[in-house]
Amino acid sequence: MLSTLGKIITEPWRLKALVRRYWVHTQVMVEGICLSLASRPRVEQTILLAGSGRSGTTWIADVISTAKGVQQIFEPLYPLAMPEVTRITGWKAYENDSRSCFLRPGEPHEKWHQFLHQVLTGNVRNTWTDSSRTSWRPSRYLVKAIRMNMMLGYIYDSFKPKIIFVTRHPCAVVCSQVKKATPAWTADIDCLLDQADLVRDYLLPHAETMLAAKSDIERQAILWAVENAVALDQLKNRPHLSIRFEDLCLDPISCYCKILSWLELEVKSSIYKKISSPSRTSFTNYDSALQRLHSWEKHLTSAEAQTIIDWSQRLGISLYDLDILPTENTSKRA
């Protein structure tokens, strides 16, 4: 007891973390009390916002969360903050966490099923997931996730949430990940190839070439191509809303109105302020949308950019080429 108190006194960050933990627990408890007076949100009303890391999902989630009655649940599959994920996957929490797990639709995944249901119904909460309080009496949950891209088909078939899938130019995504330069953004190719169902369904023709990837840029390009190819393939015959980051940058008002209309959410005046604010996970400010969209061209060589595009096309994604804007072609499975 005295030892713990001494650490709190000498290391102020511990006190801050303790206060934060109790504050979040109090918020969740108050939310539970409010919901006890009404029915809890149905899982079919949950909004699942998915996309690769650094694709703008945090910005989009924060904007949608301005709508009345929407409580955001932030990255519930982050291994370092979610012991349940490490138990299910066997991943070590302190290792690279930029990875995804593949779930084949139509097959039983008992451990994942129970956990995912808890996530989508707002029953998996901690100081990480509740990084922002957006509603005290939510009528819907918004689950923002960059690690569910290869299980979206299974999730929809099992729970029928409202799925929004975000794509962003792979060169922009890879550039942002490499610039961030932390272990969390080191792509784990072995983690992909260790998943037998994923290899059989999508990766067998490419496995040897994937193993030969040497640079961080090529490994990130592979991860982007794999998780986006799987997501787009699983979603093509399932109800969802596809959003392109480039469209949001160039015409944010009409795009967000489209999103909120699809979700049957009211457009509030506060949305306009949130749209113009940079994402809380962004580390660069831009003077214009076009400057943002062109930014990766300054940091990647032509050979690096071509490598990224080659991998996306190798996995059957024809949505992007070396132009900063998406093509009009739809993604297809190779």
pLDDT per residue over 159-185, tens digit each?
A: 999 999 999 999 999 999 887 656 567
| pLDDT digit string, tens, across residues 206-237 | 999 999 998 999 999 999 999 999 999 999 99
Instruction: For residue 71, list its beta bridge partners.
Output: 141
Q: What is the mean pLDDT of residues 105-131?
A: 95
- What length does the chain have? 334
Percent pLDDT > 90 in the chain is 66
DSSP assignments along 291-334, one per residue: HHHHGGGGTS-HHHHHHHHHHHHHTT--S--SSSSPPSPPP---
Top-confidence residue, 67 or 10: 67
| pLDDT higher than threshold 50 for residue 334 | no
| pLDDT digit string, tens, across residues 247-285 | 999 999 999 999 999 999 988 777 777 787 766 666 566
Which among 229, 245, 208 is positioned nearest to 54, based on CA atoms? 245
Long-range contact pairs involving 25-28 (C-beta distance under 8 Å, separation at least 24): 27/130, 27/133, 27/136, 28/125, 28/130
pLDDT at position 93: 64
Whole-structure pTM value: 0.88
pLDDT at position 8: 52
C-alpha to C-alpha distance for 277 and 271, rounded to whole angstroms:
10
| pLDDT digit string, tens, across residues 127-142 | 899 988 888 889 999 9
